[in-house]
Amino acid sequence: MEVLRALHASDPVQYRTPVLANKFKISPEAVSRILKSKWRPSPERVAKMIARENLNKDQRIAEKIKMERAEVAKSLEGRLDIVEKAQGKDKLTMK
């Protein structure tokens, strides 16, 4: 919410309600309510929100790394089979 308010405060003409609604993927009514609202989260609430965002970010990064490693392993496995066949070390031969 603070980012939305800051963008609107920095340039109200460029960051009108429909533009902000599109950017944040929320309804224009929600944007106008946020801009009109004076509510601010408590410092404890802000700390919890930041901690949750950081945890989610770390989990997404870990999942992405895991998937990339699996893709690399699969790619290397296929290449090793090709190299072994080219060298005559096929699993079915006795060489």
Q: Domain-by-domain residue ranges, the chain?
A: 2-36, 41-95
Write the pLDDT tens digit of every residue in 2-36: 999 999 999 999 999 999 999 999 999 999 999 99
Looking at residue 61, what is its pLDDT?
Answer: 98
92: pLDDT strictly greater than 70:
no
Tokens found for residue 1 = 């919410």
Rounded to an integer, what distance in angstroms lies between the CA atom of residue 36 and that of residue 30? 10
pLDDT mean across residues, the chain: 89
CA distances from 3 to 7, 31, 48, 59, 82 (A): 6, 12, 17, 23, 53
pLDDT confidence of residue 91: 59
- pTM of the model as a whole: 0.53
Task: Give the C-alpha separation, 37 to 32, whole Å.
Answer: 8
92: nearest Cα among 79, 77, 80, 81: 81
